Structure 1
């Protein structure tokens, strides 16, 4: 009896030990999942030492300042990405814009929204931001609205492309949707802006897939860079061919993201099923009812691209489609200042892809690669502890960089005017 009495008090101690171990395990998982031990630091900058780079470092404090994400969850690239994907932004404004419709040579109707500036620009000039959103996105997305509102307040006119087929209330007028690298609609929008506002200069901005499109557009033809002050690309992957392998890996849950994005693409394509698959006279060559059946069962973007998307432009294989539609082979032809922004914890862009902007910025004076530790995919939320601010680090950086380039160009033109005046007096 005595021994039994002595043993019983030990049981609660055992339970306490189990509880402590469980709590410790949960805390460990939380710390690991939320990446709480990760430090905050200024973004890594890869650039060549030049007068432009030195000017940018002086004029853009965000390039050299710590990016501090929300304390509790902001260091998790997954949560940043999920919040962007689900909410877009918090307390997003509703800028008022006019929708423009452009008829393309193949009968497609391109649309973009035009937003006028709401204050004078810092250099007093007419500057238009031509913006290309991410995959299947448009001007009504919250992250676009937030950015446009901020740009307007900084004196920029904004033109935002609505990807062909992405707006739910706009019917397709030809059997074609936006693709990974088709620049036709973006080019039509830019040409409209150049023609309508002959005095305006352009700042080209692309988010995610939009980054690929704008870089490819600028590199396709030297004339496309006329009147362009600079280009900013945020969170793109640079090479679809290289990215496709990484998108099938479970590392960083990329396969899961791939599935979610494919599901969204599937819904968009099926919403235009009648135009794309219904009329046998109009539908693209090689696009058959069998492809529609395969679309229903597709679980990855690659399957959708192979069975449907590449056929809009008659590519013979997925490899050819990805090769031709990636901006990788056009980046070196861009001569205007180019800012390439990625996040080190972006779960969609594998770290191996970041060697592309790194190598480019090490070779070319006009290119700077900015790589903050955190931000996820188009997240870049800021905030003190739990709740994010409406405006993100990304929004501020793009506008700050554009302002700096405008100042740089103005200073350059003033210097050349002075030189001409001096030589004229001589």
Structure 2
């Protein structure tokens, strides 16, 4: 498909990538009804918590939302997207990845950027409700990588899935890690590191036979954490093996349903490989939009309905 330049121009200071990224992630307030939580029992004996936000009237349309690294369904970007779809008569099911709701999951493993089998199980459960004839997927950052991997894998997608939207997609995980580790992103990288360490300390208390607190404390980067935990806990040899096998870039050519990719040019978390121009130009299903501004999931507007929310509902309803 032709590359979409978009017409997004943020107000004032939000042309700065850090201002838009930080405001959207930490300062934005999104008012909406309280989620209704449902616990899904997975086939391997673990669980995932889904948080539901329903439209004001009965509908057969549903959007499934996938959060980013160290995130959950309470993040402003998740709530904002749920609200946008609810207002257009779509129910929303916001997925907390394993270990990301208030309760630690049952197993040593948790979630990662390529855990598309968990998404598949959630979709199977939702289809068993026999309520929805149209299902859309919207993912953010790590969750967007998972979404694109799921849609491009050699699997038969349910006919109810009409398409997906990925916002700030780190298609090349190793390259994105390199971008985050640049000195300009030190504060972001350190914040991710501390959040993940906090999660791992709790996991070490529950699973001392698998991981020890002193090894967690010795980690000084996100890659160290991926070498110590993320890769090993999920069946990969090391961080490099994990990045190689789960990066969605390797699955894009397999996508056979419409997707919109919204990656800002000034997103300091993304490497050049995260803008798959050539693949998009040669695909009838991939719509790549690269606005000049937006930072990382920071498409701020003068209203509290952000640009990526407007584009997501426009794209999905056009299918």
Shorter-chain TM range is over 0.9
Name which of 23, 31, 38 aligns with 1:93.
Answer: 31
Q: In the aligned structure 2, how far is the partner of 1:94 from the partner of 1:199?
A: 22
Name which of 82, 89, 96 aligns with 1:148.
Answer: 82
Cα offsets for 1:328-367 (capped at 9, x unmatched)? 22111110011111011111113x1234x21211110111
Offset, 1:75: 0.6
In structure 2, the residue matched to 1:399 is: 313
Offset, 1:225: 4.8
Q: In the aligned structure 1, how far is the partner of 2:104 from the partner of 2:318?
A: 40
Offset, 1:198: 5.0
Cα offsets for 1:192-228 (capped at 9, x unmatched)? 1111135421111111111001111122243125321
Offset, 1:264: 1.3
Q: In the aligned structure 1, how far is the partner of 2:150 from the partner of 2:198?
A: 27
State whether residues 62 and 132 of structure 2, in contact with CA within 8 Å, keep that contact through their aligned partners in structure 1: no
Offset, 1:134: 1.1
Cα offsets for 1:303-324 (capped at 9, x unmatched)? 1010111111221121111111
Rg larger in 1 or in 2?
A: 1
Cα offsets for 1:83-123 (capped at 9, x unmatched)? 12322x23x11233321112223322111112222257xxx
Name which of 107, 125, 134 aligns with 2:45.
Answer: 107
Which runs of no fewer than 5 residues in structure 2 stay unpaired? Answer: none
Offset, 1:65: 6.1
Pair 1:297 & 2:297 matched: no
Counterpart secondary structure, 1:295: helix
Question: Within 5 Å, which residues of 2 pair with 1:308-319?
Answer: 308-319=229-240
Counterpart secondary structure, 1:111: strand
TM-score using structure 1 length: 0.71
In structure 2, the residue matched to 1:60 is: none
Structure possessing the higher relative contact order (Cα contacts under 8 Å, 6 or more residues apart): 2
In structure 1, the residue matched to 2:22 is: 82
Name which of 242, 259, 268 aligns with 1:338.
Answer: 259
Q: In the aligned structure 1, how far is the partner of 2:132 from the partner of 2:11?
A: 41
Q: In the aligned structure 1, how far is the partner of 2:295 from the partner of 2:176?
A: 17
Pair 1:259 & 2:190 matched: yes
Question: Within 5 Å, which residues of 2 pair with 1:8-407?
Answer: 47-48=1-2, 66-71=7-12, 73-87=13-27, 89-90=28-29, 92-119=30-57, 126-167=60-101, 169-197=102-130, 199-250=132-183, 253-275=184-206, 277-278=207-208, 280=209, 287-289=210-212, 292-350=213-271, 352-355=272-275, 357-383=276-302, 389-405=303-319
Cα-Cα RMSD: 2.0
Structure having the higher helix fraction is 1
State whether residues 230 and 239 of structure 2, in contact with CA within 8 Å, keep that contact through their aligned partners in structure 1: no
Offset, 1:379: 0.9
Counterpart secondary structure, 1:112: strand
Cα offsets for 1:162-199 (capped at 9, x unmatched)? 021122x2132122211121123222211111111354
Offset, 1:269: 2.1
Q: In the aligned structure 2, how far is the partner of 1:225 from the partner of 1:105?
A: 19
State whether residues 263 and 299 of structure 1, in contact with CA within 8 Å, keep that contact through their aligned partners in structure 2: no
